[in-house]
Chain A
């Protein structure tokens, strides 16, 4: 059983029976601290877990029971027989709420009625959990995501000065999750509108791990006349719609007070009283929701019997381990050159230690990818609702571990792919029925480990890709030349090309300009590959292959003349020397015979235009990427090498076939080959 919702249900039922047992004990001994604690814990756990798997209503409901037991524990509330009866009723109600994350109106009404009963006892306001969590997460540790509100009021001359807010927003969105509200500010005069004068006012809610300085840094070039206010919002700070509107100067404080005195539904009243346009209230409501969701997330991040370490400390540790590995290589080299036995035994010892340290450090950085999957469940549910589609998301392999950095950077591309599947892949229930498919679509998301690499599959049973449409679109957009002869596989890959988007219309979900090319780039920046397969009418499958980490790999060092090249060991099948070779008559590609099959072979000397003469006997390393085999011919195979990957920097980003460099024991630089790309090159 790997579906988190199923796990949650099972866990919740267990806690409910714990609750029941505790209640029955408490009937006899209403002050048993042990039983009160047990009851409190069971409600607390259900509340927390429910929120994680999208059972928000249930989470909210159990919150009130948790509060109740808290009060009982503190001696403020007495557990009377009628109260215990009420709680038992609530227990049965929770069991019903476990059926569906969004319960029916009737069930919600039952919840409301019960909540009123409990809040009368506890004296808690009905407002829900937001207010009550004070003290749990008031201080935010460094490295934890923080929520900021950034109010931006550009100078009137901003546009004329050549400034635009879009790059700034884009940069902010690079720092974390953002929600932007844009309005015409108070300086906007509809009778005298000057289009080149900036009258916009923007408000950004940003959840980020970045420091306040890096947020301020986004605005370093804007003039002094811009007004930029950056406010940190703490997790337990309640954010009221009215306050937001006043903060945004949409509504004057005293006008708001008057309305609020009248009664609760602030949004409608403010609109009705004509204080603000409905859209403004709506967008502010959205912001409020965003802030609350983010606050909730922050609270959930409270640790479970483990030590929390800020990410940068882990990064530091990783860097230092990397340096250590390089140092060890240098010592080894020195021992070898000086032919000193004692030094070489020391080097060996150090090598053993640094390998162990390296593995431990990796292990610390590894997280199960399931933490991200949980988020997607919610996203898929909400999106499916918005699009009027019925979709079930099934996940598998949530326990698969990946470097935290990789997980973080993988989240956005995965969201995009899921959105795509929902928006373009899975059809509406009507269409599906017409096609004889079940009305409810299926999305599968799975992760698995495979030969030192992580494979992530996103599969849907939707409409599939229409090769003809893709091809004609690609020709129209100039992505391929008319008359190009492409097989379906090649056509599918076209949608990853920059400037290609099959979305015929702008919809709210995808087709928002962040195309599949961005997905591909993000994956490639993680040294990964992405491939797509599809069957018209049946569905689409996207396969992402990633290395488990980005910092240190086991490599095979090879040499061509005096140059050194490292092949990731995970891709190496075997090394062979002096192989008979032939040439493909059509393409002129060198082919070598490998276990009864001809495989393409690339000579590094030619590929990187290394000077000098090849030795009489060359070595060929056979590598595998996915299903594809290829030979890479070098002068010599030096041996196994723990490789600390150093980024080549942006200047070399275009350098084909290379994914990084490493520093060897003697201080020389060796290039680390991007085998996947070499294989692709060889195919062409």
Chain B
């Protein structure tokens, strides 16, 4: 079944790769460039899964997830975090904020899709 998935990452290329993989699997994608942009783009719409980078300008991933989980319409929305090897320490922080799963960049599209099927 097709899901609506929000992809938050400041890197246009990461967004592109992730979106293409998701669209290829039949999902709809809402893209945002950082946490702040993401919060604006939520706009009350139904989101089945949020895929978010950690390190972003304006508003980082952890702050964004906390804000997301504070909104009643998204309090149960699953979050998949994208991290790099060096951000391993952020995992605990992300988990505390409400992220449920992680992928370490770089990853292959099929790894991403496999993770998505487990969450949404």
Direct contact of A and B (CB under 8 A): yes
Question: Which B residues are in CB contact (< 8 Å) with A498?
Answer: 2
Q: Judging by beta carbons under 8 Å apart, are A168 and B118 in contact?
A: yes
B114 CB to closest chain A CB (Å) equals 8
Interface residues of B in 1-58 (CB under 8 A from A): 2, 17, 20-21, 23-25
Task: State whether A218 and B118 are in contact (beta carbons under 8 Å apart), knowing that A162-B76, A650-B110 are contacts in the complex.
Answer: yes
Question: Of B78, B109, B120, which contacts A650 at CB under 8 A?
Answer: B109
Task: State whether A651 and B79 are in contact (beta carbons under 8 Å apart), knowing that A171-B117, A221-B101 are contacts in the complex.
Answer: no
Q: Judging by beta carbons under 8 Å apart, are B25 and A163 in contact?
A: no
- The closest CB in chain A to the CB of B69 belongs to A162
Convert B79-102 into 0s and 1s, putting 1 for each residue whose CB lies closer than 8 angstroms to a CB of A.
100000000000000000010110
Q: Judging by beta carbons under 8 Å apart, are B100 and A650 in contact?
A: no
Question: Of A161, A167, A220, A649, which contacts B109 at CB under 8 A?
Answer: A649
Cα of A650 to Cα of B24 in the assembled complex, Å: 6
Question: Which B residues are in CB contact (< 8 Å) with A649?
Answer: 109-110
A508 CB to closest chain B CB (Å) equals 20
A246 CB to closest chain B CB (Å) equals 30
Question: Which B residues are in CB contact (< 8 Å) with A167?
Answer: 117-120
Question: Of B76, B100, B109, which contacts A651 at CB under 8 A?
Answer: B109
Q: Is A159 close to B, CB under 8 A?
A: yes
Question: Of B21, B24, B79, which contacts A162 at CB under 8 A?
Answer: B79
- The closest CB in chain A to the CB of B79 belongs to A162
Cα of A221 to Cα of B78 in the assembled complex, Å: 11
Which one of A161, A162, A164 has the highest number of Cβ atoms from chain B below 10 Å of its Cβ?
A162
Question: Which A residues are in CB contact (< 8 Å) with B119?
Answer: 162-163, 167, 221
A149 CB to closest chain B CB (Å) equals 21
Question: Which B residues are in CB contact (< 8 Å) with A435?
Answer: none
Question: Which A residues are in CB contact (< 8 Å) with B75?
Answer: 160
Q: Is A653 close to B, CB under 8 A?
A: yes
A541 CB to closest chain B CB (Å) equals 28
- The closest CB in chain B to the CB of A196 belongs to B76
Q: Judging by beta carbons under 8 Å apart, are A221 and B100 in contact?
A: yes
Cα of A167 to Cα of B25 in the assembled complex, Å: 15
Q: Judging by beta carbons under 8 Å apart, are B78 and A162 in contact?
A: yes
Interface residues of A in 632-666 (CB under 8 A from B): 649-654
Convert A485-507 into 0s and 1s, putting 1 for each residue whose CB lies closer than 8 angstroms to a CB of B.
00000000000001000000000
Q: Judging by beta carbons under 8 Å apart, are B76 and A654 in contact?
A: no
Cα of A654 to Cα of B27 in the assembled complex, Å: 13
Question: Of A160, A218, A653, which contacts B24 at CB under 8 A?
Answer: A653
Q: Judging by beta carbons under 8 Å apart, are A651 and B118 in contact?
A: no
Q: Judging by beta carbons under 8 Å apart, are A220 and B118 in contact?
A: yes
Cα of A651 to Cα of B17 in the assembled complex, Å: 8
B77 CB to closest chain A CB (Å) equals 6
A653 CB to closest chain B CB (Å) equals 4
Question: Which B residues are in CB contact (< 8 Å) with A168?
Answer: 118
Q: Judging by beta carbons under 8 Å apart, are A163 and B100 in contact?
A: yes
Cα of A160 to Cα of B98 in the assembled complex, Å: 10
A520 CB to closest chain B CB (Å) equals 13
Q: Is A170 close to B, CB under 8 A?
A: yes
Q: Judging by beta carbons under 8 Å apart, are B100 and A161 in contact?
A: yes
Q: Is B67 close to A, CB under 8 A?
A: no
Q: Judging by beta carbons under 8 Å apart, are B76 and A159 in contact?
A: yes
Cα of A334 to Cα of B98 in the assembled complex, Å: 58
Question: Which B residues are in CB contact (< 8 Å) with A650?
Answer: 21, 24-25, 109-110, 113
Question: Which A residues are in CB contact (< 8 Å) with B98?
Answer: 161-162
Q: Judging by beta carbons under 8 Å apart, are B110 and A171 in contact?
A: no
Q: Is B104 close to A, CB under 8 A?
A: no
Cα of A520 to Cα of B81 in the assembled complex, Å: 34
Cα of A651 to Cα of B22 in the assembled complex, Å: 9
Cα of A612 to Cα of B100 in the assembled complex, Å: 51
Question: Which B residues are in CB contact (< 8 Å) with A159?
Answer: 76
Q: Judging by beta carbons under 8 Å apart, are A162 and B77 in contact?
A: yes
Cα of A650 to Cα of B79 in the assembled complex, Å: 23
Q: Is B73 close to A, CB under 8 A?
A: no
Interface residues of A in 115-166 (CB under 8 A from B): 159-164
Cα of A485 to Cα of B5 in the assembled complex, Å: 35
Cα of A613 to Cα of B112 in the assembled complex, Å: 41
Task: State whether A163 and B78 are in contact (beta carbons under 8 Å apart), knowing that A221-B100, A221-B101, A221-B115 are contacts in the complex.
Answer: yes
Q: Judging by beta carbons under 8 Å apart, are B24 and A651 in contact?
A: yes
- The closest CB in chain A to the CB of B25 belongs to A650
Q: Judging by beta carbons under 8 Å apart, are B24 and A221 in contact?
A: no
Question: Which A residues are in CB contact (< 8 Å) with B24?
Answer: 650-654
B72 CB to closest chain A CB (Å) equals 12
Interface residues of A in 156-207 (CB under 8 A from B): 159-164, 167-168, 170-171
Cα of A160 to Cα of B75 in the assembled complex, Å: 8
B59 CB to closest chain A CB (Å) equals 20
Question: Which A residues are in CB contact (< 8 Å) with B115?
Answer: 221
Cα of A461 to Cα of B23 in the assembled complex, Å: 40
Cα of A650 to Cα of B19 in the assembled complex, Å: 11
Question: Which A residues are in CB contact (< 8 Å) with B79?
Answer: 162
Question: Which A residues are in CB contact (< 8 Å) with B21?
Answer: 650-651
A219 CB to closest chain B CB (Å) equals 8
Question: Which A residues are in CB contact (< 8 Å) with B109?
Answer: 649-651
- The closest CB in chain A to the CB of B77 belongs to A162
- The closest CB in chain B to the CB of A161 belongs to B100
Question: Which A residues are in CB contact (< 8 Å) with B113?
Answer: 650
B20 CB to closest chain A CB (Å) equals 5
A160 CB to closest chain B CB (Å) equals 6
- The closest CB in chain B to the CB of A653 belongs to B24
B120 CB to closest chain A CB (Å) equals 6
- The closest CB in chain B to the CB of A159 belongs to B76
- The closest CB in chain B to the CB of A650 belongs to B24
- The closest CB in chain A to the CB of B50 belongs to A162
Question: Which B residues are in CB contact (< 8 Å) with A160?
Answer: 75-76
Cα of A168 to Cα of B79 in the assembled complex, Å: 16
Question: Which B residues are in CB contact (< 8 Å) with A161?
Answer: 76, 78, 98, 100
Question: Of A171, A652, A654, which contacts B118 at CB under 8 A?
Answer: A171
Name A's B-contacting residues (CB within 8 A). Answer: 159-164, 167-168, 170-171, 218, 220-221, 498, 649-654
A-B contact pairs, 6 of them (CB 8 A): A159-B76, A160-B75, A162-B100, A167-B120, A171-B118, A650-B21
Name B's A-contacting residues (CB within 8 A). Answer: 2, 17, 20-21, 23-25, 75-79, 98, 100-101, 109-110, 113, 115, 117-120
Known: A162-B79, A650-B109. 7 other contacts (CB 8 A): A167-B118, A167-B120, A170-B117, A221-B100, A221-B118, A651-B109, A654-B23
8 nearest interchain CB pairs?
A: A162-B78, A221-B101, A653-B24, A650-B24, A221-B118, A162-B76, A650-B109, A651-B20
